[in-house]
């Protein structure tokens, strides 16, 4: 399809021009479940390899200029590793994206990090967050994304209320160290690894903590971190309304935090979330919402899964952009239920792949990034180069 032939041309160009998504460094590394890990020859085991893989995804899709970093896995020496990361940024044309403190792997964090009853352990955790903020400053990266594994496994074994207070203190202190253009994103998750209570279990708790921490703290929604049947787009609507939505970790789920590829189980859900975001943008000032992928590719090829995810996200974004929101508002106002629903679903059912392909070609990108990845031989080459080396396995999931 030629772009000019399409009535949706302007809309599609505008929508795809405005869409970018961050890839996670850990999506390129070997991960698995607690029952086993199946290593892949092409998996990245160094920060350099992660940047190289992120650059390949960006070369094919053109919309992933940043890579999220996990401090413990990617900058094990903290700020001392910043120079190497900055050099990799220049070499690969990929910027460091969100900085993720790791508060869940040290032995001391057995009973919590920022919420640990031991004040010395809390101090250690806070100082890791402050280091992460410093890393973000030096790399010029805007967001520090905080996820805690803190919680408890058995009723009565911890004071949930005391832990709220410790958390508020820690987040206020962290917020005090932010530069004016830095943000603190607070992620929530109802369970795992703690199975009785989690210290930041839902968006209400994250919202409260963000407000307490200060004006540059926001809520981070990970689509996999919700109970079954929870209406995530309604949460998004509330967070947009209250000005507290900071970003997303996109993935898909069937049962819990499965970290499956975006749209693989329920693409309609992502479409509904995108519709809320696009409605808010057309009704008011643009919201600074960071789109990030948070997935664990245990069985699929890592780069292939990442490219597939980015392409799927673009397609769902484009579908949501095609919703005629002015007409929808009229139908909502008159409570014309079936017409409203058909208009909404009609956009979802539209095959936008030709439009997306035309947009890519227009920008000198491969029309079909997945096919281009297969034809390009990158995965075979790195599999050959990296496969002979002992592969490390990232311990999460």
Report the interface residues with Mn ion, using CB under 5 A. Answer: 222, 249, 257, 294
- Least Å from the CB of residue 185 to Mn ion: 10
Residue 100 contacts which entry, ligand RM4, Mn ion, none (Cβ below 5-8 A, type-dependent)? ligand RM4
Residue 252 and residue 294: Cα distance in Å, rounded? 9
The answer to whether residue 396 forms part of the interface with ligand RM4 (CB under 6 A) is: yes
Q: Which of 58, 61, 100, 298 binds ligand RM4 (CB under 6 A)?
A: 100
Please state the three-class secondary structure of the chain as a single string.
CCHHHCCCHHHHHHHHHCCCCEEEHHHHCECCECCECCCCCCCCCCHHHHHHHHHHHHHHHCCCCEEEEEHHHHCCCHHHHHHHHHHHHHHHCCEEEEEECCCCCCHHHHHCCCCCCCHHHHHHHHHHHHHHHHHHHHHCCCEEEECCCCEECCCCCCCHHHHHHHHHHHHHHHHHCCCCCCEEEEECCCCCCCCCEECCCCHHHHHHHHHHHCCCEEEEEECCCCCCCCCHHHHHHHHHHCCCEEEEEECECCCCCCCECCCCCCHHHHHHHHHHHHHHHHHCCCCCCEEEECCCCCCCCHHHHHHHHHHHHHHHHHHHHCCCHHHHHHHHHCCCHHHHHHHHHHHHHCCCHHHHHHHHHHCCCCCCHHHHHHHHCHHHHHHHHHHCCCCCECCCC
CA distances from 194 to 35, 154, 171, 172, 372 (A): 18, 9, 21, 24, 42
Q: Quick one: which of 222, 252, 276, 315 contacts ligand RM4 (CB under 6 A)? A: 222
CB of 248 to Mn ion, least distance (A): 9
274 binds ligand RM4 (CB under 6 A): no
Q: Could you tell me the smallest distance in angstroms from the CB atom of residue 220 to ligand RM4?
A: 8
Residues 125-184 that bind ligand RM4 (CB under 6 A): 147
Using the minimum distance from each CB to ligand RM4, give the nearer residue, 51 or 396: 396
CB of 25 to ligand RM4, least distance (A): 10
Give the one residue of 249, 253, 302, 360 binding ligand RM4; rule: CB under 6 A.
249
Pick 78 or 354: Cβ nearer ligand RM4: 78
For ligand RM4, give the closer residue by CB, 344 or 396. Answer: 396
By beta-carbon proximity to ligand RM4, the closer residue of 100 and 269 is 100
Residues 75-94 binding ligand RM4 (CB under 6 A) are none
276's contact among ligand RM4, Mn ion, none, with CB below 5 to 8 A by partner kind, is none
Residue (73 or 92) nearer to Mn ion, CB: 73
Q: What's the min distance (Å) between Cβ of 201 and ligand RM4?
A: 13
Asked if 81 and 5 count as a contact pair (C-beta separation under 8 A), the reply is no
Which entry of Mn ion, ligand RM4, none binds 396, CB below 5 to 8 A by partner kind?
A: ligand RM4
- Nearest approach, Cβ of residue 125 and Mn ion (Å): 18
Contact yes or no for 260/296 (Cβ under 8 A): no
Which residue number places its CB atom closest to ligand RM4? Answer: 147
Please pick, from the candidates 187, 199, 252, 315, the single residue that binds ligand RM4 as defined by CB under 6 A.
Answer: 187
Q: Work out how close the CB of 298 gets to Mn ion at its nearest, in angstroms, rounded to a whole number.
A: 14
Please select the residue that binds ligand RM4; options are 74, 143, 257, 276, rule is CB under 6 A: 257
Supply the minimum distance, in Å, between the C-beta of residue 184 and ligand RM4.
14
Residue 114 backbone dihedrals phi, psi, to 5 degrees: -70, -15
294 binds ligand RM4 (CB under 6 A): yes
Which residues form the interface with ligand RM4 (CB under 6 A)? 100, 147, 187, 189, 222, 249, 257, 294, 396
């Amino acid at each position: 399809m030629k772009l000019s032939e399409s009535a949706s041309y302007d809309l599609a160009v505008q929508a795809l021009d405005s869409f970018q998504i961050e890839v996670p460094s850990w999506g390129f590394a070997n991960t698995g479940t607690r029952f086993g890990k199946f290593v892949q020859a092409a998996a990245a085991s160094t920060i350099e390899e992660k940047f190289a893989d992120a650059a390949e995804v960006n070369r094919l899709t053109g919309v992933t200029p940043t890579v999220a970093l996990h401090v413990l896995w990617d900058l094990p020496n903290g700020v001392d590793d910043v120079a190497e990361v900055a050099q990799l940024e220049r070499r690969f044309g990929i910027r460091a994206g969100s900085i993720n403190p790791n508060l869940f792997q040290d032995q001391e964090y057995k009973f919590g990090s920022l919420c640990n009853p031991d004040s010395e352990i809390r101090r250690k955790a806070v100082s890791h967050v402050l280091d992460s903020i410093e890393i973000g400053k030096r790399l010029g990266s805007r967001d520090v994304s905080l996820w805690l594994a803190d919680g408890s496994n058995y009723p009565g074994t911890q004071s949930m209320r005391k832990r709220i207070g410790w958390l508020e203190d820690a987040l206020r202190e962290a917020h005090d160290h932010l530069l004016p253009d830095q943000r603190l994103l607070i992620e929530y998750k109802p369970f795992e690894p703690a199975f009785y209570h989690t210290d930041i279990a839902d968006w209400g708790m994250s919202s409260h903590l963000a407000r307490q921490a200060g004006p540059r703290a926001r809520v981070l929604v990970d689509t996999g971190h919700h109970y079954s049947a929870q209406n995530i787009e309604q949460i998004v609507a509330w967070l947009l309304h209250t000005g507290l939505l900071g970003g997303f970790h996109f993935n898909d789920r069937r049962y819990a935090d499965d970290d499956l590829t975006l749209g693989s189980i329920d693409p309609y859900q992502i479409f509904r979330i995108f519709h809320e975001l696009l409605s808010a943008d057309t009704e008011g000032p643009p919201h600074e919402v960071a789109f990030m992928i948070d997935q664990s590719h245990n069985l699929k090829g890592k780069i292939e899964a990442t490219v597939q995810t980015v392409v799927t996200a673009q397609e769902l974004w484009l579908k949501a952009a095609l919703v005629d929101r002015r007409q929808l508002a009229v139908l909502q106002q008159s409570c014309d239920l079936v017409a409203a629903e058909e208009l909404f679903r009609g956009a979802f059912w539209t095959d936008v792949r030709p439009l997306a392909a035309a947009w890519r070609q227009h920008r000198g990108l491969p029309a079909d990034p997945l096919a281009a990845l297969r034809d390009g031989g990158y995965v075979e080459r790195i599999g050959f180069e990296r496969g002979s080396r002992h592969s490390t396995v990232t311990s999460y999931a």
